[in-house]
Amino acid sequence: NAGVMQNPRHLVRRRGQEARLRCSPMKGHSHVYWYRQLPEEGLKFMVYLQKENIIDESGMPKERFSAEFPKEGPSILRIQQVVRGDSAAYFCASSGQDNLNTEAFFGQGTRLTVV
Amino acid sequence: DAKTTQPPSMDCAEGRAANLPCNHSTISGNEYVYWYRQIHSQGPQYIIHGLKNNETNEMASLIITEDRKSSTLILPHATLRDTAVYYCIVRTSYDKVIFGPGTSLSVIP
């Protein structure tokens, strides 16, 4: 049973380009969470999605960032017109149920570098 | 999520038990205590969780006090590979897991 898969593992973008980060949850999981970790900082919640729905996006920057989790395929975190401050590790997690007694499992992250 | 308090750093000798404390005095009756760790800059790794009973799995044991205001994560025989940042989290909602600064555990040869 494969874990949470994120790709690419490393992504380099020039300022102004778009970054698309993909997350395939564990088999059978329909809940996805995205986190950002800036260099030398902690993990910050960005957004929580269920299939085809954004449930909680309280941690998403208001501009340039968007997320989706379509009925088929991986969840996508999209960053438009990237700036150097977007350089960070982006982690995705998935869980199978929406209750407090269900652990979330994390992927190995995508390291975005904006040059 | 309910606030948790952890020491910023701890050392443990290799082969000894590592006991990581966590205070969560504002925890409510239906809130679970979760532990994760992050080794270097890898993705966070789930360790264990519990509500009020002590829990044990292949990685660790979780001891929750009777009043549920604090807990201790125990790594029974720490190895160098257990050096990581350990996060104690109280989940109050299923829509997110909120990470604090955690405890940086250094296992020393």
Q: What average pLDDT score do residues A18-26 get? A: 97
pLDDT (tens place) for every residue of chain B, 109 residues total = 558 999 999 999 999 999 999 999 988 888 899 999 999 889 999 999 999 989 999 999 999 999 999 999 999 999 999 999 999 999 877 767 888 899 999 999 9
Above pLDDT 90, what percent of chain A? 84
What is the predicted pLDDT for the residue at B73?
98
* B-chain residue closest to A31, CA distance: B95
Yes or no: say if A92 and A26 are a contact pair by the CB < 8 Å rule. no
Best residue of B55, B62, B94, B104 to probe chain A, by most A CBs closer than 10 Å: B94
What is the predicted pLDDT for the residue at A1?
52
Digit-coded pLDDT (tens) for A79-105: 999 999 999 999 999 998 777 788 899
H-helix or E-strand containing B16?
A: none
Digit-coded pLDDT (tens) for B85-109: 999 999 877 767 888 899 999 999 9
Helix (H, G, I), strand (E, B) or coil at A65: strand
With an 8 Å Cβ cutoff, are A106 and B46 in contact? yes
Between B28 and A65, the higher pLDDT residue:
A65
Yes or no: say if A51 and A59 are a contact pair by the CB < 8 Å rule. no
H-helix or E-strand containing A113?
A: strand A110-114
Yes or no: say if B95 and A39 are a contact pair by the CB < 8 Å rule. no
How do strand A110-114 and strand A10-13 relate by DSSP bridges? parallel
Which whole-number Å values give the CA distances from B25 to B38, B48, B88, in the listed order?
24, 20, 13
Q: What average pLDDT score do residues A3-22 get? A: 97
State the average pLDDT for chain A.
94
What's the distance, CA B24 to chain centroid? 12
Cβ neighbours of residue A58 under 8 Å, at least 6 residues apart? Answer: A45
Amino acid at A35: Y
* A-chain residue closest to B50, CA distance: A101
Q: What average pLDDT score do residues A103-110 get? A: 94
